[in-house]
Amino acid sequence: MNRKGLVTAIVCALMVLVAYFAWQFVFFEYETNTYTTTAQQLFTIDHLTKLVPLLLIGLLTAVGIVACIVVRNAIVRHDGQRGPFAARLATAPKGRVHGLRPSTFMVVRWVCMVGFFVVTVFGGVLLGVRYSWISIPVLSCPANMSQLTEASCYYLAHLEELAGLPLMGIVAFVVSTLGFVVVFGRVLCGFVCPMGLAQDVMHKIRQATKVEGISMTERMYQALVPIRWIMLLLMIGLSFVGGNFCNFCPAIALTPVAAGLSVSLYASGFLMVFVLIASFFKRRFFCTICPLGYLMGLAHGVQPFRIRKDCTACTECGACYEACPMGIKQLYTEREKTDVTDVSCIMCGECVRCCPEDRALSLTFLGKDVFVSKRSRVVQGYRR
């Protein structure tokens, strides 16, 4: 086994051990957990005090980001080869460059993410109803009894409990979950998932603070594949060996805590800090290893949303590959097929937005264009 394989094996083994003993890594613990709230409690001091775990996560994330920046700067300063180049680059005169203006598609996507986050966190309380028989396959913790619907992740992580449900309960779970997967697929990752919104917010904070991110190479993406499979195996099989994936999943440290529920956090709290730090430097980092997202992506061959490419219009500039937060290389390398939809594609539209050629890339629904690339959008979006 080479060095790369050994490091990957060690990382995966550590993940398995931490996941299995997740309940022993206490991040924040309540004596009594509560999973529901009311509309009257939303604006009380007691409700706000339950946001302390979220504040701790935010504080630790900020400290971690600053520490990473300091260490990286120290490495660059002491690097005999890259240090002088980096210093000259930092002090070089720069023209005034404006980024791409937000398109209507991107505005709609952000409105959907924020709107669904509110529904996910407070929907059941605000509307006074909860559709517990509908399971939406997004990384939205079902421990939050204040959200509008169920999330599929709990029963996927506890298949033995799913088997113990009444027949109608099993049918409702399977039909609603498969229905959303087939119709939407990983569109749910790009438009609905609360974890996706949290990661995109971290990306926007990095852009606003003008901190340099990390450019992932193809080898780095390949190194994450075994970790993604380990995450998938942990989610589906951990409960059968006496573990609980919920104690390891970062989603429980987001939607229930944001709702102000007194839910104890174990390794999940520490993992959420790591996810936020990683997503600050690498957009949608967790989406590249998310087990639920990968399961949804398996239906990419039948879903009505597609990414299509006009290979004759492509000039091989590579802008689509650089813009893709999931590192889908076939967007750039494909020279024959028109359908370049991939199992990892979250339909965020970044590749289409950054493509500088007319109709070279397009996001379609049932063959109809939803979002197409335009040269004018790129040319007019940047100016000195």
Average pLDDT score over residue span 224-239: 94
The predicted model gives 352-378 an average pLDDT of: 92
Between 376 and 265, the higher pLDDT residue? 265
To the nearest 10°, report the CA torsion of 170, 230, 144, 114: -110
d(CA 141, CA 247): 11
Band (pLDDT 50/70/90 cuts) for residue 83 is: low
User: Smallest Cα–Cα separation from 204: which of 75, 119, 114, 319?
Assistant: 114
Lowest mean pLDDT among 2-6, 224-228, 300-304: 2-6
Q: For residue 369, what are the contacts with CB-CB under 8 A and spacing of at least 6?
A: 362, 363
pLDDT value at position 192?
94
Could you give the dihedral angle defined by the CA atoms of residues 159, 161, 163 and 164, in that order, rounded to the nearest 10 degrees?
A: 170
pLDDT-derived band of residue 40, with 50, 70 and 90 as boundaries? confident
- State phi, psi for 263 to the nearest 5 degrees: -115, 125
Residue that has been written with the tokens 């993406």 in this structure: 221
Q: Which of 119-133, 243-257, 357-371 is predicted with the least confidence, judged by mean pLDDT?
A: 119-133
Share the mean pLDDT of the chain: 89
pLDDT at 5 exceeding the cut of 70? yes
Question: If you average pLDDT over residues 220-237, what whole number do you get?
Answer: 93
Region 241-262: what's the mean pLDDT?
A: 92
Q: Is the pLDDT of residue 262 over 80?
A: yes
Domain boundaries, the chain: 49-71+100-303, 305-381
**Identity of the residue numbered 328:** I
* pLDDT band at 125; cut points 50, 70, 90: confident
φ/ψ of 135, rounded to 5, equals -115, 115
Q: What pLDDT score was predicted for residue 95?
A: 38
Write out the DSSP string of 16-83: HHHHHTGGGS-SB--SS------GGGGGSHHHHHTTHHHHHHHHHHHHHHHHHHHHHHHHHHT-TTHH
In this prediction, residue 1 carries a pLDDT of: 65
Q: Which residue has the higher pLDDT, 48 or 371?
A: 371
Instruction: Please determine, for residue 21, whether its predicted confidence score (pLDDT) is greater than 90.
Output: yes
pLDDT exceeds 60 at position 383:
no
The closest alpha carbon to 364, from 344, 339, 383, belongs to 339
**% of the chain surpassing 70 pLDDT:** 93
For residue 128, pLDDT over 90 is answered with no
Task: Return the CATH architecture of domain 305-381.
Answer: 2-Layer Sandwich (3.30)
Above 50 in pLDDT, residue 89? no
**Whole-angstrom Cα distance, residue 200 to residue 207?**
11
For 191-211, write each residue's pLDDT tens digit: 999 999 999 999 999 999 989
Check whether 377 has a pLDDT greater than 90: no
> How far is residue 354's CA from residue 323's CA, in Å, rounded to a whole number?
7
At residue 132, the pLDDT reads: 84
**Per-residue confidence band for 38, with pLDDT thresholds at 50, 70 and 90:** confident
Instruction: Provide the pLDDT for residue 324.
Output: 94
Bigger pLDDT: 76 vs 336: 336
Cβ-Cβ contacts under 8 Å for 48 (sequence gap 6 or more): 260
What is the structure's pLDDT at 93?
A: 46
Each residue's pLDDT tens digit, 280-331: 999 999 999 999 999 999 988 899 999 999 999 999 899 999 999 999 999 9
Sequence-separated (6 or more) residues with CB below 8 Å from residue 285: 199, 275, 278, 279
**Between 139 and 117, where is the model more confident?**
117
Rg (C-alpha) for the chain, rounded Å, is: 22
